[in-house]
Structures are given as structure tokens and as C-alpha cells.
Structure 1
Amino acid sequence: MSDQLPTILGLDFDGVICDGMLEYFQSSKRAYQKIWNQDTNQNLEELAQSFYKLRPVIEIGWEMPILIRALVLGITETDILQNWTNVAQNIISLEKLNPKEITETLDQVRDDWIHNDLEGWLHLHQFYPGVIDKIGQVLKSSTKLYIITTKEGRFVKQLLQQQGLDLSESSIFGKEVKRPKYETLRHVLDINSETPNHVWFVEDLLKPLKLVQQASDLQGVKLFLADWGYNTPQIRESIQNDATIKLLSLKQFTQEFSHWP
């Protein structure tokens, strides 16, 4: 049981608040077809299940069309799981691709989809059970809430508005801020004149948590790995003996802070 409640709660979006797996694949597929237009006859839908299984390797949005490319090229799921960084960089280098341009293509696909079929786009996002209610409770409390994500902030705001949550733009730090999450946490501390031991941060990817853990000025931030998000049993097992990164279940997340690990 936690003996101190947070004055600031930082939440990742994808894999913590929202399960956008269906949208990830469909948007990535559309972006793929624009980038590799010579392959539009390929039945990419056959790759969906592998894409879902491999989603935990993705850290930044531009990697999603690259993941589809890796599957098209016949790279095995095992190689992707064990060596994703090298696999992605090799594809980028060999095919002379630019991650920034891939990002722009993916964002444009989403913007066009939202403009032409907002209902269809929103329908592909599922919010984890109880999470919206929990966020609503936090917003009514003394704890300040911040969304810290690599997703475009405008997409996050749109999705939350559909759920009746109208967060201010100053509460959402998306991909557009162009800085790693530990730097965003540092910024949140600064603007609130807060100390790290009053801040809790929930993320479903281990790497961002490790980077916070390694920042000397962020020692004291309580770190939680969401076990319902885009991670693997091996990743969850790896923090069993970690003193500062705690595994958090969805049931615990939706309860009072005093019931969190």
C-alpha cells in the first residue's frame, strides 16, 4: 500500500488509457501502401495478427509501417522480437527511407481519415475498462493529471473528448513536443514547482521507465509498468526484483491510489 498520494499523475496514452491496436494496423497499412505503392497488391490483412503480437517492440509511430515492411520481407517474428532496433534501422538504410517522412505520411493518413470518416476512425479505438472513470475521478481531485505520449496530442484530445473528457492542451504532451518522456516529466516538475517524490508515472513500455529511473534529478518519481499494455510476459518478469518500477494491474489502476503497489 502506498503511504503517500501523488500531487501529479503522468499517464502514457496508448497501452495505458486506450487500446488502439486495430487503428494502428489500419493506419500503418494505409501509410505502407503510400510509401511502397508497388506493393499495393499484397494482402496486408494477412499480417494483422503478427503485427498485433509484435506491437510491444514499437516505441515511435514511424516504426509501425516499418514493422509491416519487415513482415512483408519475411523477417521472422523471433528476429523482430529479439532484434527490432537493428531490423528497423537496416530497412531504413537499405531502402533509403526517412523516419520524418514516414511520420508525416502516417499523420496525413490519420488526418485524412479523421476528416473523411471520423466515426470510423474513433470506432477502432477501445478504452480499457474503468480507465475513463478513473481519469474522471482524478480530474475532480487535487491530483494534477498529465498525458505524456508519443501520439500526436491533437489525436489524444479528440479521442478523450469523445469520452466526455475535455483536457486542456497544457495537460497533454504529445509527439509534437519533440522530447523524451523523462524530459517532459522534468518540465512538468518545473512548471508545478514540485519535487519528484510527489509524482507518479504509468507507462506500458519499459524503456521510458528505465530512462526516468536513470535520471538523477528524477529519483523519487514512482514508476509503474501497466501490465495490461503493449508489453510481454518476459518484460513483466524482468522487473520482479526492481525496487523502483512496480508492476501495476488494471484492477489496481482503477482503485484508490492507496491500493496501488
Structure 2
Amino acid sequence: MTPGPLLVFDFDGVLVDGMAEYWWAARKAALRLRPDLTLPEQAPVAFARLRPLIHKGWEMVLVAAELSRSSSALTAPGAGYDQALAPALAHWGWSPETLQTTLEEVRRQAIAADRSHWLALHRPYPGVPQRLRALAAEAADWAVLTTKGGAFARELLAAQDLVPLYTFGHEDGSKPEVLLRLRTLQRPLWFIEDRRPTLEAVRATAGLEAVRCFLVSWGYLGPHDLIGLPEGLAVLEPAAFAAPLATWP
């Protein structure tokens, strides 16, 4: 008998809208490293615009700091984001490790000091918790694969009474690496993500050709992310997500 699929979900932008927390935590971390910065309490429009390009947590802190600089190439509209990361790090004299460690310390302290406030900065997308709970009736399991720290993802899932089969954070390796390890389960893998470059990287990874890849329409998408999708990537709309797995595109 063929085992049911394992649905592997990205977290931020797929299960949870955490934009308010991203800015809050990134701002706090940037100010911890550079108390002289002037950063607004509310997320600037430019931060939301850049969110689809941000791949790892440390980048959020860097972007927050760069938004204080009028000459930043990283935050300028139309700039080459990936190419501007290294010069921006050099400008501040920071390393990705320093930024990631500071961000996670900010989050750990926030949970210890006022867990309910920190949790309230995250909003599950409508209908998502209910749909995840319903997967068991379709002989499917689900997992979370995120570039957020695994401990923080588990904290947020527990607040919604959600218990995935696995939770993988940035400390567990890249998303293609984790998916390659999951192949040993010898069951169909479905990967649900809101970042098109990540899905394209999965499709280009030898050994992951059989993984079904879905780009959700409700996440942190760039203006052209849904246009001209390559073969092997399917758009997942909310109505399709709520429908039985057998009808997914």
C-alpha cells in the first residue's frame, strides 16, 4: 500500500503572517547592535517591499539598519538585492552569525518577558490551522521547514495547538538538504512555499525531482512571482488549499 504524502510547509508567509514581528524583532536587534540608529516603530513600506527577497533571519536585521541610510544600495528600488548584501555587511562591520545570534536573543528575551505579546505579533492565515488538523483524515502527515529558528516555530505552533510530525529550523540545514534527508522516509513529498527562488532551487536539486512543489498565492510574493512559472511549480490558491488533497493542482 502506497503511504500517504508528507506535506512540508514553509512557515512564515505560508502558515503564519508574521510581518509585524519581523519588523519588531529586526528593529530591536539592529538597535541593540547600533543604539544610535533612528528607526520607526512601524514597519516602513520599503521593509514590506523587500520581504519577498529576504531569505534568512539575519537579513531582516541588516535591512532594518540599511533603511536608516539614504545611500543604501540594498534597500533602493530596483537594486540587486543579493549582490548588495555583502557590501551592506561590510559597511556595518557585521557578520551573518552576529546578526542571527542577536535576532534570536531578542526573540528569546521577548518570549521570557511577555510571551503573549510576542505571540500576538503573529497571525495565522485564515483557515490554515483547521486545514492542517484535517490532513490526518486524508492519511497525510505534515511538517514545517523554515529558515526561522526551530524553537521559535515550535513555540508559535504550540500556541495554536498544532503538532507537526517534524519541525526543521535554519539550524537543520538548507531546505533542499532537509528534503533530501526526508526522502529516506520513502513516501511522497509535497513542498509548500511562498518564495519562488526556494522552490526553483528545490526543482534544480538532483534527487528531488519527484517532490511536488507548490507556490502559495497568499504569502510574501514579489510582483512577478506568479508569472511564467516553470514546469514543476504549481500555484496554490486558498480555495485549492482548502479542498481535498486529491484535487490539488
Q: TM-score, normalised by structure 1?
A: 0.88
Q: Is the 8 A contact 2:5 2:140 kept in 1?
A: yes
Aligned position for 1:7:
5
Q: Determine which structure has the larger helix proportion and give its number.
A: 1
Aligned position for 1:257:
245
Range with bigger deviation, 4-13 or 98-107: 4-13
Q: Structure 1 regions of 5+ residues with no counterpart?
A: none
Q: Is the 8 A contact 2:74 2:81 kept in 1?
A: no
Q: Is the 8 A contact 2:10 2:146 kept in 1?
A: yes
**Separation (CA, whole Å) in 2 of partners of 1:64 and 1:98:** 13
Deviation at 1:200, TM superposition (A): 0.9
Deviation at 1:44, TM superposition (A): 2.2
Code of the aligned partner of 1:209? L
Aligned position for 1:22:
20
Instruction: Check if 1:229 corresponds to 2:219.
Output: yes
Code of the aligned partner of 2:169? G
Other structure's SS at 1:234 match: coil
Aligned position for 1:175:
170
Instruction: Check if 1:220 corresponds to 2:214.
Output: no
Residue 37 (structure 1) aligned to one of 27, 35, 38: 35
Aligned position for 1:90:
87
Aligned position for 2:57:
61
Aligned position for 1:193:
186
- CA RMSD after TM alignment: 2.0
Distance 1:142 1:6, change over 3 A: closer
Q: Is the 8 A contact 1:157 1:167 kept in 2?
A: no
Instruction: Check if 1:207 corresponds to 2:197.
Output: yes
Other structure's SS at 1:37 match: coil
Instruction: Check if 1:243 corresponds to 2:238.
Output: no
**Separation (CA, whole Å) in 1 of partners of 2:197 and 2:39:** 33
Deviation at 1:162, TM superposition (A): 1.1
**Separation (CA, whole Å) in 1 of partners of 2:78 and 2:30:** 20
Structure 1, residues 21-53: CA drift from partner, whole Å, max 9, x if none? 0000000110010111122xx142365232122
**Separation (CA, whole Å) in 2 of partners of 1:23 and 1:47:** 10
Range with bigger deviation, 68-77 or 152-161: 68-77
Distance 1:26 1:11, change over 3 A: same
Code of the aligned partner of 1:235? D
Deviation at 1:6, TM superposition (A): 5.3
How many residue pairs match? The answer is 247
Deviation at 1:56, TM superposition (A): 0.7
**Separation (CA, whole Å) in 2 of partners of 1:165 and 1:46:** 29
**Sequence identity, in percent?**
29
Deviation at 1:251, TM superposition (A): 2.0
Q: Is the 8 A contact 1:80 1:87 kept in 2?
A: no
Distance 1:244 1:174, change over 3 A: same
Other structure's SS at 1:29 match: helix
Q: Is the 8 A contact 1:224 1:247 kept in 2?
A: yes
Q: Is the 8 A contact 1:27 1:106 kept in 2?
A: yes
